[in-house]
Structure 1
Amino acid sequence: MTVEANSTVVHARAPGKINVFLKVGALLDDGFHDVATAYQAVSLSEDVRAYPADDFSVSFAGTIDTSSLPTDASNLAIRAAVLLARTTGYRGGVRLEIDKHVPIAGGMGGGSADAAATLLACDTLWGTDIGRDELLTLAAELGADVPFALTGGTAIGTGRGDQLSPALAKGNFQWVLALAEFGLSTPMVYSELDRHRDRHAQDIFPAEVQPQVDAEVLQALRAGDPHMLAEVLHNDLQAPALHLEPGLGAIIELGEENGALAGMVSGSGPTVAFLAADLDSALELQIALSAARLTVVRATGPVHGARIINQ
């Protein structure tokens, strides 16, 4: 896809995600873990506007506090734009304006969504038109969740989470998300998982090297049944996240006491995702959690992956 010569901005949008299932494999020699996850893209999204420029820059606005985000070359969106330019031989730059709505360091892939939307917006703005497969290859270089932010929907991720295969999902699922005022570092949570497994080595089965998504999860998604899905929600990173931030446990209990079918830490946390039976139940849960002075948003899934808005 290319833009008209008089276009001065390309607007792309990419979704945040919930890991409805996440199993983490054993620690490998390279210090990483393979995972098996079921991703669902949700309607909490990031908006990236790309303008022609001679160099690379990024600024932020949106509904969440972005003051802690770097705006230099370490920012993932800048890295995405630079990677695309280097790969295609494009000699210009881009000015990125990002409206953020996905929590920062919240376990919902907001930075990955920024990167995915940036790849798509710059490819369109610059007319490099490298195609979806090459965009996915570049996305995998940027981070494990970036390819899924490009594809969206519902998918199974293996390897580092970047080896994707689509999963059938019927209907819509209603989610209520309790957003924390703090973030959790993903590497820190994984390190705590390793320590947790060491501490409880006598009580738990050894982690598999190559984990798999349970068949019951795929069945629940295919059925579009929130009650079935609630029974099989799972996140290996929840225990270490709760160890680092014990207060998250009380939030999960509060949500389940107020009608959630199930609640769990999303990804590496600290966002807590609650699955509701239907829209009315989600609205009631949102009101109850808001009354408890929690910051709460509703979202539905699955939704599309990164896409151009103004073309």
Structure 2
Amino acid sequence: MTAAAPSTRVVHVTAPGKINVFMKVGALLEDGYHDVATAYQALSIQEHVRARLADDFSVAFSGPIDTSGLAVDGSNLAIRAARLLARVADYRGGVHLDIEKHVPIAGGMGGGSADAAATLVACDHLWGTNLGRDELLSLAAELGADVPFALMGGTAVGTGRGDRLSPALAQGTFHWVLVLADVGLSTPQVYSELDRHRERHVHDIAPAVETPTVDVEVLQALRAGDPHQLAEYLYNDLQAPALHLEPSLSRTIEAGERAGALAGIVSGSGPTVAFLAADADSALELQVALSAGRHRVIRATGPVHGARVVSG
């Protein structure tokens, strides 16, 4: 396939940020990784990717998030996604990506993964490569554990590295209030701290299994659409190491629960803290209370759809 003629056409795709409402991490494997069992929920905080034809591959960022520290070279995950699709589809042209960021960076909410998923969909549409959803999901899994979920959206169980997905039924709408931290946490650093945490407490906690599973009570609560029931089963193995690395997160969780949250949890590897509220009014009250406490707060709902074309 040869490069397309220059065009002003722009394909606009959105993809959601996510939270992990449940996350168990397996034992450290010989390859240095861990298997996980997680329940993802896609949130109404969306990344916007606009793609247009170009001779090479480039990316620019905008939006309310400080993107000054993000790479814009070939190491950027969105650029890697575009190059991967071009290679697989034997497409000889390039793309310029304008990414409007709304998902916090290094916050455990999968913003970079959402950018990559949106880029796959945008380029597939722009280039006319028409790979289909299953092949795009396969490419997404090559890019990172959270990328397939950003493509799928909704609510899902992830196993393996988190990229083997099974849709999970979730009734109604869940209301979340997210507190953003002023610092980021490195995912590899949090996993390493988990391993150290388990070594320190080897006599106090049950040994981790190699292949964890999602507790059935979580799936029942999601299926029932019951926030009170779900609040009882929010769980994250990475929370303890995240709190150890960033102790202020403990105070954040306490503040949210004092202000009326049903429960609070560190999302993924953190440092974003997600609070579950009973309903829309409770979420608004919680947002106001936490904002008054000088926290940076976003209100969101879930589940929402995965990466999809808005226009173009």
Aligned-residue Cα RMSD (Å) equals 1.1
Distance across 2 between alignment mates of 1:129 and 1:26: 39
After TM superposition, the structure 1 = structure 2 runs for residues 50-89 of structure 1, keeping only pairs within 5 Å, are 50-89=51-90
* Within-5 A mapping of 1:81-120: 81-120=82-121
Q: Secondary structure at the match of 2:166?
A: strand
Amino acid at match of 2:233: V
Distance 1:51 1:192 in 2: 42
Shift of 1:6: 6.3
Give the fraction of aligned pairs with identical amino acids, expressed as a percent. 76
* Mapped partners of 2:220, 2:8: distance in 1: 45
User: Counterparts in 2 of 1:189-268, with a 5 A limit?
Assistant: 189-268=190-269
Secondary structure at the aligned position of 2:23 is classed as strand
TM-score by length of structure 1 reads 0.98
Determine the C-alpha separation between the residues in 1 that align with 2:248 and 2:47.
28
Distance 1:6 1:180 in 2: 41
CA distance in 1, matches of 2:280, 2:222: 18
Report the counterpart of residue 16 of structure 2 in structure 1. 15
State the match for 1:169 in structure 2.
Answer: 170
Counterpart residue number, 2:3: none
Structure 1's 79 and 6: CA in aligned 2 closer, same or farther, altered over 3 A? closer
Distance 1:62 1:37 in 2: 29
Shift of 1:253: 0.2
Deviation sequence 1:239-291 (CA, Å, 0-9, x none): 00000000000000000000000001000000000000001100000000000
Shift, 1:216, TM fit:
0.2
Which secondary structure state, in structure 1, belongs to the residue aligned with residue 32 of structure 2?
coil
Residue aligning to 2:40: 39
Instruction: Work out the CA distance in 1 between the residues paired with 2:103 and 2:173.
Output: 19
CA offsets 1:204-255 (integer angstroms, 9 cap, x no match): 0000100000000000000000000000000000000000000000000000
Unaligned runs of 5+ in 1: none
Secondary structure in structure 2 of the residue aligned to 1:309: strand
In the alignment, is the contact (CA less than 8 A) between 2:53 and 2:126 conserved in 1? yes
Letter of the aligned partner of 1:116 in structure 2? A
Q: What is residue 157 of structure 1 aligned with on the other side?
A: 158
Cα deviation 1:33-60 (Å, max 9, x = unaligned): 0000000000011000001100000010
Corresponding pairs, count: 308
Give the deviation of 1:7 after TM superposition: 6.1
The runs of 5 or more residues in structure 2 that have no matched partner are 1-5
Deviations 1:157-198 (A, max 9, x none): 000000000101000000000011211100000000000000
2:7–2:53 contact (8 Å) kept in structure 1 = no
In structure 1, the residue matched to 2:27 is 26
User: What secondary structure sits across from 1:115 in the alignment?
Assistant: helix
Contact (CA 8 Å) 2:11, 2:122: kept in 1 or not?
yes
Q: Which amino acid aligns with 2:77?
A: L
Question: Structure 2-normalised TM-score?
Answer: 0.97
Match status 1:306 vs 2:307: yes
Distance 1:169 1:133 in 2: 22
CA distance in 2, matches of 1:63, 1:219: 36
**How far apart, in 2, do the equivalents of 1:209 and 1:85 lie?**
36
